Structure 1
Amino acid sequence: MTWYLVLILLVGLERLAELVVARRNAAWSLARGGILTGQGHYPWMVALHTGLLVCAPLEVALADRPFLPVLGWPMLALVVAAQALRWWCITTLGPQWNTQVIVVPGLPLVTGGPYRLTWLRHPNYVAVAVEGLALPLVHTAWVTALAFTVLNAALMVVRIRCENDALTLAAERPSTT
């Protein structure tokens, strides 16, 4: 269980690093006329992601979930792959990446990195979905994995619609940069 708590802590630290990058990027976007939307669903996203990091180790401890190597090691590999995909997205989007929906009118859509894959429209959310399923399953916390996956799918319907609407609106407005 100790190494699993270390893994959860490392993912939590990664999330804090994301928030630092997001805060810097938000300032950059807002200084260039960025439009912030979707604030209604954002607290639910924060709660869901926080819940993942709290509930997975709680389930392992309270339900005495074992580490099963045949499941745990492949899930750990998926967690690492999800982190790599997430940071590929973050670096590709540069200052346009954020945890909130902020769109700067007049900026072109990013079409490089993982965004060049036409069959994968939202690679960052693929990373989130994979991590949300795999992180709990590293230590067989299947209830947390299932709950996160279902709730995240519902939230992503709202989030992706919000992002698409914001991008459409921004494309219709002239640039202020």
Structure 2
Amino acid sequence: MFFVIFISVIIIQRIVELWIAKKNEIWIKKQGGVEAGKNHYKLMVLIHSCFILSLLAEVFGLKRSLIANWWILIALFILSQIGRVWVIISLGRFWNTKILVLPDAKIIKKGPYRWLKHPNYIIVTLELIIIPLLFQAYYTLIAFFIFNLLILSVRIPTEERMLSLHTDYLKVQNMERRFLIHLKREK
């Protein structure tokens, strides 16, 4: 029963995120925003949809149950969701599931973007580990961790290329190194 409620919450959350993304897409395109990565976006949607289906199949088909120390993973999942909301709020109208860039926009350097270049992808990767691990769905964990790494190996360079072409991304990246800490190059 817990699994059904948990997976239902995730599906509802994804639907709400797609609604937010669509609203933001309409706005950014009206402002002159440009899109990239349409082909791999379809693959990314397929991967994330199949993740849910694989999780359902493995949990029900192989009769998986909650891991012994489930509360630790639930806590990590809740933290990841707080991070997800922080990312969405920090980017505001610029947050999207697609690669949409507004030419000449300034790179956002608030929220988790003060320290990390791609916090949303870190959060998604953590979810693809935490959720299957929570229900001992190890086949789903391994397969979709690999699929996620493959799609991110295409998506991140595409996104960075678009940001470099249309914004001050390169300037910001040359002045600041963002990973886990905020550093400024001394002059």
Q: Structure 1 segments of 4 or more deviating over 3 A? A: none
The offset of 1:78, in angstroms, is 1.9
Which residue does the alignment assign to 1:79? 77
Aligned-partner SS, 1:36? strand
Q: Percent identity?
A: 33
> CA–CA distance in 2 between the matches of 1:49 and 1:82?
17
The offset of 1:27, in angstroms, is 0.7
Which residue does the alignment assign to 1:49? 48
Q: 1:171 aligns with which of 167, 174, 185?
A: 167
The offset of 1:64, in angstroms, is 1.7
Q: CA RMSD, aligned part only?
A: 1.2
Q: 1:95 aligns with which of 70, 93, 96?
A: 93
Which letter maps to 1:97? W
The offset of 1:150, in angstroms, is 0.7
The offset of 1:163, in angstroms, is 0.4
Which residue does the alignment assign to 1:5? 4
> CA–CA distance in 2 between the matches of 1:7 and 1:111?
33
Which residue does the alignment assign to 1:175? none
Gaps of 5+ in 1: 173-177
Q: Which has the higher contact order (CA 8 A, sep 6+)?
A: 1
Q: 2:148 aligns with which of 146, 152, 156?
A: 152
Asked if 1 retains the 8 angstrom alpha-carbon contact of 2:33 and 2:102, the reply is yes
Which residue does the alignment assign to 2:107? 109
Gaps of 5+ in 2: 169-187
Aligned-partner SS, 1:69? coil
Which letter maps to 1:28? W
The offset of 1:69, in angstroms, is 2.2
Normalised to the residue count of structure 2, the TM-score between the two structures is 0.86
The offset of 1:67, in angstroms, is 1.9
Normalised to the residue count of structure 1, the TM-score between the two structures is 0.91
Instruction: Map 1:112-151 to 2 at 5 A.
Output: 112-117=110-115, 120-151=116-147
Which letter maps to 2:131? L
Which letter maps to 1:90? I
